[in-house]
């Protein structure tokens, strides 16, 4: 029998990649979003997860074998992040019909599990790297922990299995996404090429010289499906990255070469993209209108604040995937290839030059 999936946040970077993989694998896929976008093979479900009654109404008649939660809403404080995002998970799981058979719920969080929320990001006493799943929660409020607790409580009540997936920075295609390093760097490189400005690394010396890793959206989608279909992976939390490691001093040149520009020398000074790109909205609109690009609003493509948070970290950040490997997940994705594939898709979709 065909399996049924509900992908929550189907219009985002992770959700759209997950929905596409599930369709490819023959699943019946429902894609929930506040404003669903058309995606081949995906049945749209429009719902605002902050509205419990509307969410329950939208989910009526959907009895999924697997639920993939890939969305969150950024708020002005961590207290509000906790209140809003925990309620969204709770409203979703309360709104679903009681399972009539086995059900698996997968929650996507991230490395802020180890690094702390934005208000305390990379500060205080942090676990030793590489991060491993057995490292416990930090002694700080974190909306990821609140989301997990909602999943655990609903699993106890309804009897479904669960998995938690902790990617590093995700590379993938989505317009209007709040955390989108790949597209942000592509837009920044395009602006530098068009204006002759130096392509300057915005982050810290620790990130420039230290080892790091990332997560391609397709790799994460494969990991989500693997966990849903692998009994030994049920009721477990996992890190998920591409499988390679690199230094930004190497990757920065790789990105520059793809766009046909020169990487500026790095002198150890942090030069945040949020400052470098602060006045670029009008310029981007001019370029988009001149070249017929599909998105003239710079703020819907680039998220400099998030890229600055990742590239400005004062510590080396690498992630251990031994737990998944031991259980049989062997997929691998070179990170430079993930960037290049994204840049090709952006160009093919007329989002960059």
Catalytic residues: 112, 144
Distance CA 312, CA 208 (A): 9
Distance CA 50, CA 84 (A): 7
Partner residues linked to 69 by β-bridges: 8, 107
Q: What is the DSSP letter of 36?
A: -
Whether 313 and 111 have beta carbons less than 8 Å apart is answered as no
**Residue located via tokens 């590093």:** 168
Q: Both tokens of residue 278?
A: 């602060």
Torsion angles phi and psi, residue 121, rounded to 5:
-70, 120
Distance CA 72, CA 113 (A): 15
Q: Both tokens of residue 108?
A: 């996507």
Radius of gyration of the chain (CA): 20
Q: Judge if the upstream peptide bond of residue 197 is cis by omega within 30 degrees of 0.
A: no
Largest CA distance in the chain: 60
Please name the residues in contact with 136: beta carbons below 8 A apart, sequence gap of 6 or more.
none
| Alpha helices, H only, the chain | 13-24, 52-59, 78-95, 112-115, 143-158, 181-195, 205-209, 217-229, 248-258, 273-276, 281-291, 298-301, 304-311, 322-326, 335-348
Q: Both tokens of residue 254?
A: 């790789």
Q: Both tokens of residue 208?
A: 């420039």
Q: Both tokens of residue 24?
A: 């490819």
Sign of CA dihedral 337, 166, 147, 98: positive
Torsion angles phi and psi, residue 115, rounded to 5:
-95, -15
């Amino acid at each position: 029998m065909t399996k049924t999936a509900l992908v929550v946040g189907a219009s985002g970077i992770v959700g759209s990649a997950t929905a596409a993989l599930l369709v490819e694998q023959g699943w019946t896929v429902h894609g929930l979003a506040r404003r669903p976008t058309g995606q081949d093979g995906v049945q749209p479900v429009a719902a605002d997860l902050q509205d419990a009654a509307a969410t329950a109404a939208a989910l009526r008649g959907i009895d999924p074998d697997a639920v993939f939660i890939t969305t969150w809403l950024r708020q002005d404080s961590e207290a509000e992040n906790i209140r809003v995002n925990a309620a969204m998970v709770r409203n979703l799981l309360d709104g679903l019909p009681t399972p009539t058979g086995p059900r698996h719920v997968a929650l996507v969080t991230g490395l802020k599990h180890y690094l702390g929320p934005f208000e305390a990001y990379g500060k205080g006493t942090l676990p030793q790297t590489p991060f491993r799943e057995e490292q416990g929660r930090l002694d700080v409020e974190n909306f990821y922990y609140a989301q997990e607790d909602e999943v655990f409580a609903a699993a106890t009540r309804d009897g479904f299995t669960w998995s938690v997936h902790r990617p590093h920075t995700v590379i993938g295609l989505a317009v209007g996404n709040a955390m989108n390093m790949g597209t942000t760097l592509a837009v920044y490189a395009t602006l530098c090429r068009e204006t002759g400005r130096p392509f300057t690394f915005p982050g810290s010396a620790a990130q420039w010289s230290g080892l790091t890793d990332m997560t391609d959206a397709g790799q994460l989608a494969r990991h989500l499906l693997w966990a849903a279909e692998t009994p030994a992976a049920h009721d477990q939390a996992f890190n998920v990255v591409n499988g390679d490691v690199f230094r930004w001093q190497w990757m920065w040149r790789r990105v520059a070469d793809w766009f046909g520009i020169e990487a500026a020398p790095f002198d150890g000074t942090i030069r945040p993209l949020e400052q470098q790109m602060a006045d670029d909205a009008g310029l981007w609109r001019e370029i988009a209108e001149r070249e017929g690009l599909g998105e003239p609003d710079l703020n819907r493509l680039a998220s400099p604040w998030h890229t600055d948070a990742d590239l400005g970290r004062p510590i080396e950040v690498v992630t251990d995937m031994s737990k998944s490997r031991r259980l049989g997940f062997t997929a691998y994705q070179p990170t430079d290839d993930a960037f290049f594939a994204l840049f090709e898709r952006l160009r093919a979709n007329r989002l960059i030059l």
